[in-house]
Amino acid sequence: MKLYTKISSGKFKGKRLELPSLSTTRSTKSIVKESFFNVIRDEIYSLTFIEGFGGSGVMASEAISNGAREAIAIEKDRAAFKITQSNLASLGCSNLKAINGDTFSVLPDLINSQSGKVLLYLDPPFDIRAGFDGIYEKLVNLISQLK
pLDDT in tens, 91-143: 999 999 999 999 999 999 999 999 899 999 988 765 555 566 677 888 888 88
Contacts 24+ apart (CB under 8 A), 100-106: 100/75, 100/76, 101/74, 101/75, 101/76, 102/74, 102/76, 103/52, 103/53, 103/74, 103/76, 103/142, 104/138, 104/142, 106/74
Reported as a single tens digit per residue, the pLDDT across 65-85 is 999 999 999 999 899 999 999
Identify the H or E element spanning 119: strand 118-122
Sign of CA dihedral 38, 74, 113, 121: positive
pLDDT at 136: 82
pLDDT at 30: 77
Confidence label for 25 from pLDDT (cuts 50, 70 and 90): low
11 has pLDDT over 90: yes
pLDDT at 1: 79
